[in-house]
């Protein structure tokens, strides 16, 4: 084994159907996917794997030596989802096959529906990683925690006192509407970074690198199903991989931002804001108003390409108060019913009847300029989104 051999972690997820609504993956579908991965491990295609779920999303966590975007690994994940879908259909599960937008695999799973986060690196003598998996939200939900982990010294003490991190980190930010990316450096470009990532529906942190040596520190899935499919298909519930310790933020610095249940877009019908609730695997199911949005964190050691673990990091009393606060926020928001800001703005809603309602009412709208006292300028909706 060469010392420079790189290990790849691939986390690939899809909603291929669930039990009793969009609530929870059925164990038999996890078993079907596990069989496919076990066979691939036997053949030496992957080194190790862990299959789990968060809410209605089936999660494949794999290690191998084939690099990111490997057609062989993507095809393997595709086949695992296909087999799981067969079982979902046999069982009559809800929305069986939902996220598999294509009938055929064509070399890369990205753009076909499933979400993908992958990174490769030369393993350190001990390599701790955390895999985060969220349900009922979108990739930009990780913007705020990633900012705190890699750019906020009030969260991450190491940015100030660990010489290996003191130069800071670089953030690769994707504009998911226009398909462009930009790299911004912290701390020197913090305000520019925040100006973008504070709009998490559009600007998504895709990767984080350590500035000192450009080592990969974090990667997020960035697929937005509604943008891929052109219409609402399902929520693009995101996954993220973060490396911890020895020159990266400590495990506890990485988990700390999740003690604040910040508001994310998603929840019921992908059309509401709600608090992101950190939970252990046993609570990784979306019940109340199809939520609230949940996030699970699994810790692993990666050793000679093997996944050792996991440990279920949010299954801890230290997050009880966060969960209680999240429930209080959920109660408070729910009382707004169909009103913003609980309901998302019209541009972000996954379900809407607004065009039909406007169409039906078009002949009943009458001029009301005298009521306003001015002649309004008709503006396009994007121009309505804030002062220019
Ligand atoms: C959101 C989600 C659910 C569904 C809701 C309605 O990501 O998966 O909240 O949007 O349960 O689902 P349908 O339209 O399938 O009845
Ligand atoms: Mg779903
Ligand atoms: Mg989901």
DSSP collapsed to 3 states, the chain: CCCCCEEEEEEEEECCCEECCCCECCHHHHHHHHHHHHHHHHCCCCCEEEEEEECCEEEEEEEECCCCCCHHHHHHHHHHHHHHHHHHHHCCCECCCCCCCCCCCCCCCCCCCCEEEEEEEECCCCEEEEEEEEECCCHHHHHHHHHHHHHCCCCCCHHHHCCCCCCCEEEEEEECCCCEEEEEEECCCHHHHHHHHCCCCCEEEEEEEECCCCCEEEEECCCCHHHHHCCCCCCCCCEEEEECCECECCHHHHHHHHHCCCEEEECHHHCEEEECEECCHHHCCCCECCECCEEEEEEEEEECCEEEEEEECCCCHHHHHHHHHHHHHHHHHHCCCCCCCCECCCCCCCCCCHHHHHHHHCCCCCCCHHHHCCCCCCCCHHHHCCCC
Ligand 1 atom with least separation from CA of 135:
7
Confidence of residue 231 (pLDDT cuts 50, 70, 90): low
The pLDDT score that the predictor gives to residue 275 is: 98
Write down the catalytic residue from 6, 232, 283, 312.
Answer: 232
The pLDDT score that the predictor gives to residue 281 is: 98
The pLDDT score that the predictor gives to residue 294 is: 98
Predicted confidence (pLDDT) at residue 382 exceeds the cutoff of 50:
no
More confidently predicted of 229 and 148: 148
Question: Given phi > 0 = left and psi -120 to 50 = alpha, else beta, which region is 180?
Answer: beta
Whole-number Å distance, alpha carbon 287 to ligand 3 midpoint, is: 12
Pairing of strands 294-303, 127-135: antiparallel
Ligand 1 atom with least separation from CA of 271:
1
Please state the rounded mean pLDDT for residues 337-349: 94
Ligand 1 atom with least separation from CA of 56:
8
Who lines ligand 1 at CB under 6 A? 21-22, 95, 136, 234-235, 268-270, 290
Ligand 1 atom with least separation from CA of 15:
8
The pLDDT score that the predictor gives to residue 383 is: 46
The pLDDT score that the predictor gives to residue 217 is: 98
Whole-number Å distance, alpha carbon 294 to ligand 1 midpoint, is: 15
More confidently predicted of 377 and 158: 158
* 235 is a catalytic site residue: yes
Please state, rounded to an integer, the average pLDDT across all residues of the chain.
93
83-101: pLDDT as tens digits = 999 999 999 999 998 888 8
* 290 is a catalytic site residue: no
Whole-number Å distance, alpha carbon 268 to ligand 1 midpoint, is: 6
The most confident of 49-58, 347-356, 362-371, by mean pLDDT: 49-58
* 206 is a catalytic site residue: no
Confidence of residue 364 (pLDDT cuts 50, 70, 90): very high
Write down the catalytic residue from 24, 66, 235, 285.
Answer: 235
Whole-number Å distance, alpha carbon 185 to ligand 3 midpoint, is: 32
Q: Which residue has the tokens 């541009």?
A: 347
Please state the rounded mean pLDDT for residues 299-309: 98
Whole-number Å distance, alpha carbon 38 to ligand 3 midpoint, is: 24
Q: In this structure, which residue's CA is closest to atom 16 in ligand 1?
A: 21
């Amino acid at each position: 084994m060469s010392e420079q051999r790189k290990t790849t972690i691939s986390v690939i997820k899809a909603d291929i159907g669930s039990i009793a609504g969009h609530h929870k993956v059925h164990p038999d579908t996890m078993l079907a996917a596990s069989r496919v991965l076990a066979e691939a491990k036997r053949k030496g295609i992957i080194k190790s794997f862990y299959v789990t779920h968060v809410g209605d999303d089936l999660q494949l966590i794999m290690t191998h030596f084939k690099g990111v975007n490997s057609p062989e690994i993507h095809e393997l994940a595709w086949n695992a989802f296909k087999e799981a879908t067969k079982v979902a259909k046999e069982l009559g599960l809800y929305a069986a096959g939902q996220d598999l937008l294509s009938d055929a695999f064509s070399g890369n799973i990205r753009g076909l529906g499933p979400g993908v986060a992958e990174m490769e690196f030369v393993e350190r003598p001990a390599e701790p990683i955390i895999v985060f998996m969220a349900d009922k939200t979108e990739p930009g939900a990780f913007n705020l925690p990633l900012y705190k982990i890699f750019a906020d010294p009030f969260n991450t003490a190491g940015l100030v006192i660990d010489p290996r991190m003191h130069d800071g980190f670089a953030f690769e930010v994707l504009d998911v509407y226009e398909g462009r990316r930009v790299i911004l450096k912290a701390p020197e470009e913090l305000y520019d970074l925040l100006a973008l990532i504070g709009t998490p529906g559009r600007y998504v942190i895709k990767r984080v690198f350590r500035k000192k040596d450009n080592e990969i520190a974090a990667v997020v899935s960035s697929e937005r199903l509604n943008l891929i499919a052109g219409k609402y298909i399902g929520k693009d519930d995101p996954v993220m991989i973060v490396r911890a310790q020895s020159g990266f933020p400590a495990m506890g610095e990485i988990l700390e931002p999740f003690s604040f249940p910040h508001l994310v877009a998603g929840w019921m019908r992908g059309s509401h804001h709600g608090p992101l609730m950190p939970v252990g695997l046993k609570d990784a199911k979306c019940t109340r108003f199809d939520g609230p949005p949940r996030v699970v964190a699994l810790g692993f050691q990666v050793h000679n390409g093997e996944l050792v673990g996991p440990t279920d990091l949010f299954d801890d009393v230290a997050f009880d108060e966060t969960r209680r606060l999240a429930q209080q926020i959920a109660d408070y928001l729910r009382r707004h019913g169909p009103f913003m800001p609980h309901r998302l703005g019209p541009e972000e809603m996954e379900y809407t009847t607004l065009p039909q309602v406007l169409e039906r009412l078009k002949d009943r709208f009458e001029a009301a300029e005298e009521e306003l006292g001015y002649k309004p300028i008709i503006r396009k909706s994007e121009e309505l989104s804030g002062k220019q």
